[in-house]
Structure 1
């Protein structure tokens, strides 16, 4: 094999590795498939996102979507040992709540674990102590988590083949639901808290009373 041919094969190998990495990233941050919406705020149809759920709060209370009816919801799916996306998103939400001032009482942020096998109520409580106390952690059985994630079109994939310290790929959005439980918009967890607050405040202000 000539040096030129070897170089071409090496180039293809690098490109293939890049494509795999890019695909993995897209699986985490791209919008749920089939949702006829623009993540910038407009819509081209009625997105079928959200729906009934029954989960357990970290204090042991059984809650449903009806528990929070009358409030805006900011729903985030993640897990407590997440290395960066979840802490970043929850920190940004904490900043947003502070900036919202009195309007913060109109929104309920929810952190729903996608890894209930490891994220017990005690683990969830300890994790959330590092963030704003108004963020409520929810868990449930695997079937309950699967059903809720499906309703919100939230992606996640557990990599248990990695062993005890396995990671989880997951969507990195807050799903914003209006007080009637209808989908309003999404905001990326990486959005700075000030911008996140501005977006939420506009949604609240623009909603007919």
Structure 2
């Protein structure tokens, strides 16, 4: 009889634990959806210096190297654009398969300074785009990048820009393929691109 009582107690405890676990699981928030590659097709629609609207769909069939920055950037932007320029040079006859794009996160000032002159100083193939604040924010949101104005008395005009430093590779179908971290050498980017052609 004593053994039977112990079994009943243990069985009841197991049932109670199972019920408690089930209730806890029901209260648990749903797991975040796993981001699949097909769900990440970043887009932009911004004017070039001539005022012509340029959109991501225009470049279907080519790889895009997209970088967000600003012309008064002292280090990250010129370093990254120098790497992009080297990639374009080293691609040789394959350069037509890649369109490098520089999207300004400080569009008003960059338009005044001349975004074409800035990008051309690195490589003539780099297309500079500078829209209004709304279009810039929409492009940044689509690429999931961060940028913000920061007051700085030592900087030109008393401010600088903080931003995500990654270089994005978009496929010919508009699909996000990867992000190159800041400081990725041109030869590594070139090698990755050539494997995709």
Q: Please report how far the alpha carbon of residue 51 of structure 1 lies from its aligned counterpart in structure 2 after TM superposition.
A: 3.0
Using the size of structure 2 for normalisation, the TM-score is: 0.76
Unaligned 5+ residue runs, structure 2? Answer: 1-31
Q: Distance in 1 between matches of 2:144 and 2:38?
A: 10
SS in 2 for 1:133: coil
SS in 2 for 1:58: coil
For residues 28-39 of structure 1, the aligned pairs below 5 Å read none
Match of 2:185 in 1: 192
Q: Does 1:80 align with 2:71?
A: yes
Q: Please report how far the alpha carbon of residue 104 of structure 1 lies from its aligned counterpart in structure 2 after TM superposition.
A: 1.4
Q: Distance in 1 between matches of 2:37 and 2:135?
A: 25
Listed one character per residue, the Cα deviations across residues 26-85 of structure 1 (whole Å, up to 9, x for unaligned) are: xxxxxxxx997xxxxxxx843744433210012321111111111111110000000000
Answer yes or no: is the 8 Å Cα contact 2:152–2:158 preserved in 1.
no
Bigger Rg, which one: 2
Unaligned 5+ residue runs, structure 1? Answer: 1-33, 37-43
Quickly say closer, same or farther: Cα 1:54–1:176, change in 2 above 3 A: same
Q: Distance in 1 between matches of 2:91 and 2:56?
A: 23
SS in 2 for 1:159: strand
Structure with the larger helix share: 2
Q: Does 1:129 align with 2:120?
A: yes
SS in 1 for 2:107: coil
Using the size of structure 1 for normalisation, the TM-score is: 0.71
Q: Pairwise CA RMSD of aligned residues? A: 2.2
